[in-house]
Structure 1
Amino acid sequence: MDRERMAEPLRNSFGAAIPKRIGAMLQAVDAAFDADAFVADALRGYEPLNLMQRGRHIAHALRRHLPDDYDAAIALLLASVDHAPARDGAPMGAFLFLPYTEFVSLHGLDHFATSMRALHALTQRFTGEFSVRPFIERFPELALAQLRAWASDPNEHVRRLVSEGTRPRLPWAARLRAFQRDPAPTLALLELLRDDPSLYVRRSVANHLNDIGKDHPEVLTAVARRWMVDAGEERQWIVRHALRSAVKRAEAGALEVLGFAHEARVAVEAVRIAPKRVAIGESVDIGFTLRNTGAAAQRVLVDYVVFYVKANGEARAKVFKLRTLDLAAGEAVRIAKRLSLEQRTTRTHYAGRHRVELLVNGRPMPLGEFVLVGS
C-alpha cells in the first residue's frame, strides 16, 4: 500500500471505537478486566496523536491494565484475538491489532521467546513488521535464527514478515542501520524466499531488494544478475520490480540486467508539449514520435522525466514510466501522455518553468518545457 498517502485516512478511522473494541475483547476472555477503566485511560490525551502514536498509546494503557506478569498478559491478548468483530464491520480492519504488536515491542524485549510466539500469531492477523525490529537490534543472532526458521512457515504472512520486518528502509519505521551498512544477513533470508509461492511474499522480497539498492547499487545488480539465471517468470518479476528505482536512476548495471545495456539508436521527432503555459490544477499533453534509426531491430526502455519546481525555486526530477518497445529497423511509434498538475497530498505544485526529458535506455534526451502558473 502507499503508506504515506494512507496515513491520515487511517488515523481518522482509528478513533475512540478502537480502544472500546479492544476493551470488550479482553473482557470477553477475562471477566475481571475493567474495560471501562482501560478505555478511559486509553482515551486520555488520544485525540492529537497520529496513527502510530495512537497504537503505542493504547499499548501503554494495556500495560497498566493487564497482569504485571508479561506471559500472563500476552496469553490474555492472544486469547482475545478470536473475539475480534468481523473485519467487514470493524473500522480499520486488521489495524485493530496494531496496539497488540506495539505492546510486544514496547514491553516484551526481556521476554524473547514469548514475544516471538506472540508475533508469530499476531502477524497472521495484522503485521509484525514494525514490532520485530527492536528484537533484531537487541538480539540480532537470536532474531535472525528465528526469522530463518519462519522463512519456511506454512503461513504466507509469517514468511512475509521475514522479508518485510528486516527491510533496512521500511516505511513508517526507524531504519535498521546495521543492515544498511551490511545487507548480507538479510540477503541470506531473501535467498530462502526468492521462489516463494506467494506473490504477497515475493513483492516484499522485491521491495527489500529495492531498499538495498539505494545504499548498495552494486550488491543489488549482482543479486539481480545471479537470480536471473534459469529464472522462471515469477522470479524475473521480482528482479524487474526490485530494479525499478535503479532503472529510474539510469544505473548501467540495472539496465544491463534487464537487457537495455546498449545505447539506443533512435531519433525523437514531432515533439508536442501543449499547452506551453498551463495553470496549476490543469493538465499538459506530452507527445513525441520515437524512430529506430538503426539497421536492426531494437528493444528500448522509454521513461520520461519532469523537473518539478519546488518551493525554494529549485527543480527536482521525477521519473515516470512509459513503455518498453520492440522497434523494427526504421520503425516509428507515436507515444503520448497526459500529465495531471492537480494538487495532491503526495505532490504540491509550484509555478515556474518545468523541463521535460526522455530517458531511452537510461540516456537522457531533451523534449522541451512548459510553464506552470498559479490557478
Structure 2
Amino acid sequence: MVAFRIPDAPRSIQKDQPLKFLLDREAVDCLAHNIALVHPAFDAQTFKQLALTNIVPLGIMDRAAHIAAALRATLPNKFADAIEILLNTLTPPNAHTERLGLSVFFYLPHTRFVADYGRDASHNHGEDPFETAMRAQYALTRRFTAEFSIRPFLIHDFERTLHQLTQWVTDPDPHVRRLCSEGCRPRLPWGARIPQLIVDPTPVLPILEALKNDPSLYVRRSVANHLGDIAKDHPALAFAVCERWLTDADIHLKWVIRHAVRHPAKRAHATAIALRKAAGAR
C-alpha cells in the first residue's frame, strides 16, 4: 500500500500557534514525498526549495498560493496532467464532518492550485480545463474544502459553475453538499466576495431550498450562515425566505432560521426578533 503522509496538526486553533504554521517545512516535505511516490520524475528538491524560499513572512492563504506556484513550476506543464498527479496523492475521503482537526489544511495548496491554474485554457495546452477543475474540487472538498477555490470559478464563469453546484446538491457526501451552499456564500470569511451574488442572491436560493432540510447539521449550518450573509445586504429577502420556511418547519429547520437571523436580531431588528421567536427562540 502506498504510504502517503500528511503533517501532524493540533485538533483546534492554538493561541500561540498561528494557522500559517500548518503550511511549513513539514507540509512541504509531505507533499514532495507524496508526489514522488506517484510521479517518479518529480524534482522534489527543486520543489521544496521553491516552496520554502521566502515563505516565512507569509500568512496561511499566501503560503498556499506560494506552494501552488512551486507546484506549477515542477509538475507537468499541462494542468490536466498536473492535477491528475495531485489527485493520485490524496488520502481517503473524510468519513466524518466534525472534529476533523487542522491537518486537513494540508490540502489548501492543492485547492489553490486548482483555483489559480484550472480556469485558463492557456494552462491546459489550449483545452478548456473546466471539467477537470470541477472533478478536482469534488475530490478535494471531500478531504478538506473547496469553498475557497470554487469562488474564482463563480466570479469568472458563473453560469457553468452554478450549474455544477446545483448538480451536487443531491450527492451522498455531506462535504460535497455543504460545498454547494458554502462555496457560493456572498461574503464567506477568508474567501473572495462574489459581487454578482452580493447584488442579486436570488440565483442561489434554489440551492438553499434544496439543502434547508439536509440530514447533516454540517450542511444545515452552512445554509443558515449563507442566509445570514444574504441578510446583510438584502434583509427583506432573507426574512421572506425564513417566513416561508417557518410553515411546517421541524426543530432542525427552526434552528436554521434562528441561526440565519441572529445578527440582525442582535441589532434589535424587529422582524428578525419576531422570526427567532416564531422559530422557538427564548
Q: Same fold (TM over 0.5)?
A: yes
- Equivalent residue for 1:46? 55
Instruction: Report how far residue 209 of structure 1 moved.
Output: 0.6
User: Per residue, is there more helix in 1 or in 2?
Assistant: 2
Asked if the contact 1:101–1:131 (Cα under 8 Å) also holds between the matched residues in 2, the reply is: yes
Matched ranges for 1:165-314 at <5 A: 165-259=183-277
- Equivalent residue for 2:112? 102
Instruction: Report how far residue 200 of structure 1 moved.
Output: 0.2
Task: State the TM-score, normalizing by the size of structure 1.
Answer: 0.65
Instruction: Report how far residue 259 of structure 1 moved.
Output: 3.3
2:176 aligns with one of 158, 163, 167: 158
CA gap of 1:112–1:205, structure 2 versus 1, over 3 A, is same
Asked if the contact 2:147–2:179 (Cα under 8 Å) also holds between the matched residues in 1, the reply is: yes
For 2:183 and 2:16, the matched residues in 1 are separated by: 19
Q: 2:46 aligned with 1:37, yes or no?
A: yes
User: Per residue, is there more strand in 1 or in 2?
Assistant: 1
Q: 2:27 aligned with 1:27, yes or no?
A: no
Instruction: Report how far residue 41 of structure 1 moved.
Output: 1.0
Q: 2:138 aligned with 1:120, yes or no?
A: yes
Asked if the contact 1:166–1:186 (Cα under 8 Å) also holds between the matched residues in 2, the reply is: yes
Unaligned runs of 5+ in 1: 85-90, 261-298, 302-323, 325-375
Instruction: Report how far residue 81 of structure 1 moved.
Output: 1.1
For 2:76 and 2:21, the matched residues in 1 are separated by: 30
Q: 2:82 aligned with 1:69, yes or no?
A: no
Asked if the contact 2:115–2:149 (Cα under 8 Å) also holds between the matched residues in 1, the reply is: yes
Asked if the contact 2:22–2:106 (Cα under 8 Å) also holds between the matched residues in 1, the reply is: no
Amino acid at match of 2:196: A
Instruction: Report how far residue 13 of structure 1 moved.
Output: 3.3
2:147 aligns with one of 118, 129, 138: 129
2:18 aligns with one of 1, 4, 9: 9
Aligned residues: 255
Asked if the contact 1:164–1:204 (Cα under 8 Å) also holds between the matched residues in 2, the reply is: yes
CA gap of 1:7–1:177, structure 2 versus 1, over 3 A, is farther
For 2:277 and 2:81, the matched residues in 1 are separated by: 57
Instruction: Report how far residue 7 of structure 1 moved.
Output: 11
Q: Deviations over 1:90-135 (max 9, x none)?
A: x941011100000000000031110000000000001000000011
- Equivalent residue for 1:271? none
For 2:15 and 2:72, the matched residues in 1 are separated by: 28
Asked if the contact 1:25–1:83 (Cα under 8 Å) also holds between the matched residues in 2, the reply is: no
Instruction: Report how far residue 4 of structure 1 moved.
Output: 10
Instruction: Report how far residue 8 of structure 1 moved.
Output: 6.1
Instruction: Report how far residue 82 of structure 1 moved.
Output: 3.2
Task: State the TM-score, normalizing by the size of structure 2.
Answer: 0.86
Instruction: Report how far residue 258 of structure 1 moved.
Output: 2.7
Asked if the contact 2:258–2:275 (Cα under 8 Å) also holds between the matched residues in 1, the reply is: no
For 1:66 and 1:11, the matched residues in 2 are separated by: 24
- Greater relative CO (CA pairs within 8 A, separation 6+): 2
**% identity of equivalent residues:** 46
Amino acid at match of 1:247: A
Q: What is the DSSP-based 3-state SS (H/G/I as helix, E as strand, rest coil) of the residue aligned with 1:64?
A: helix
For 2:35 and 2:13, the matched residues in 1 are separated by: 31
Asked if the contact 1:98–1:126 (Cα under 8 Å) also holds between the matched residues in 2, the reply is: yes
